[in-house]
Amino acid sequence: MNPIAKELNAVLEGTIAGKAMSKLGKRMYFPKGIISQAAEAKKEAYAVDATIGIATEKGAPMSLSAIRNALSGLSVGEVFPYAATAGLPKLREAWKQETLKKNPGLAGKAVSLPVVVTGLTHGISILADMFLEPGDPVIVPDLFWDNYELIFADRVGAEIRGFPLFDAAGGFNVNGLASELAKVRGKKAFMVLNFPNNPTGYTLKAAEAARLTVVLKAEAEKGTSLVVVCDDAYFGLFYEDDIRMESVFTDLADLHENILAVKADAATKEELVWGLRVGFLSYAARGLEPKHHEALVQKTMAFIRASISCSNTPGQALVLKALESATHDAEKDVTFAAIKTRYVETRKLVNAMKGPLKALPFNSGYFMTFATPGGKAEVLRRLLLEKYGVGTISFQGKYLRVAYSSVDIENLPKVFKAIDEAAISCCS
């Protein structure tokens, strides 16, 4: 094992991060090679810097005018050079400040500086590599983003253990989660909590979040090592007053020494920049000190360096400009209000449907989901396409997801009328 990896492992020894880390995670380190030497030269090479592999002229990156002119709002230094492996330092700081502003419960709690990743998929993939071995349990509700299966089960070889997302009363199934955790008591468990949930569009209510933290703390006290990933892809898209408005990460950040909380979020939906692929990973746990956070950052940088080298520079620069804009909050308020209006209209239209479909609980995010009788979701999806020209997503054979976020409000009645008519004809 590389000596740098050994040093990082020694720093993390005895912490939940060290205990939960995979064999691959333990082997990874950020090398003191080209990137670190180039960073040193950037600070100290007062005559000439001949370290980094880019083409420059008079100290500025060379570039093509077609690209330079298309991104005229950015300087050449904000577009063409490589970004630091962990991301632009100013963006990392700005995102942490945004996180603290939106999650005031984090005040005074020790949280790492976010590491920039290329979207949430990349971030979750890194966490899978860092903390999972083949066969390890991954505990998630049974209604989850399909990329989880590709990442955790198919690529890493972990075992996804689902539990019903909703209980009989239509709320988050805290007891189901507790039952799954009890099966791995005293061992390591990797969990993913995604709120607002994709595909259902459900977010915990305040009382459910409180019960959840009680369950997780009780399991940690029984000796279970928990890595809890808070997939906050749709954070902030909350439409009802009784919703938990802060990330679950806020409660978990210092809940117990046996709980490593990871906030996996992104500018993707929060800043309306889907194609820029700018995501973040932040770490916290009771007892972790700055040296532990830095070791985790170094491990994360190792996975970035070994796969994509670094995330794209102009995407990060654009997100930073948005965060620094004087109109940032006001513009976001306008766009989120428009999506909320679509949510309100969707709820009204769903409540008026007369067919056999049952809407699963939804209160946030981009989506709502129907349960279809008889396992005919794919039949219904094809009928909607072929007869009505309406696109939806079927999954698990019995569910149909509708992204009302991407439908202009004047078209929503047409969409849900078509779904209702099609369901009556094929699913009754």
pLDDT tens profile 143-172: 999 999 999 999 999 999 999 999 999 999
Q: Where exactly does CATH 3.90.1150.10 map onto the chain?
A: 328-427
Average pLDDT score over residue span 122-139? 97
> Can you give the pTM of this predicted structure?
0.93
Closest CA to 30 of 296, 387, 263, 302: 302
**CATH numeric code, 3-30+85-324:** 3.40.640.10
pLDDT reported for residue 339 = 96
Average pLDDT score over residue span 90-107? 97
Question: How many angstroms separate the CA atoms of 303 and 130, rounded?
Answer: 8
Average pLDDT score over residue span 374-384? 95
* Helix, strand or coil, per DSSP, at residue 411: helix
**CATH numeric code, 328-427:** 3.90.1150.10
Confidence of residue 101 (pLDDT cuts 50, 70, 90): very high
Contacts of 315 (CB under 8 A, 6+ apart): 273, 276, 277, 278
Token match 């791995």: residue? 184
Average pLDDT score over residue span 390-404? 96
H helices of 248-374, in order, are 249-252, 267-270, 290-305, 313-324, 328-351
Token match 């972990």: residue? 158
Q: Where exactly does CATH 3.40.640.10 map onto the chain?
A: 3-30+85-324
pLDDT reported for residue 177 = 97
Is the per-residue pLDDT at 33 higher than 90?
no
Is the per-residue pLDDT at 36 higher than 90?
no
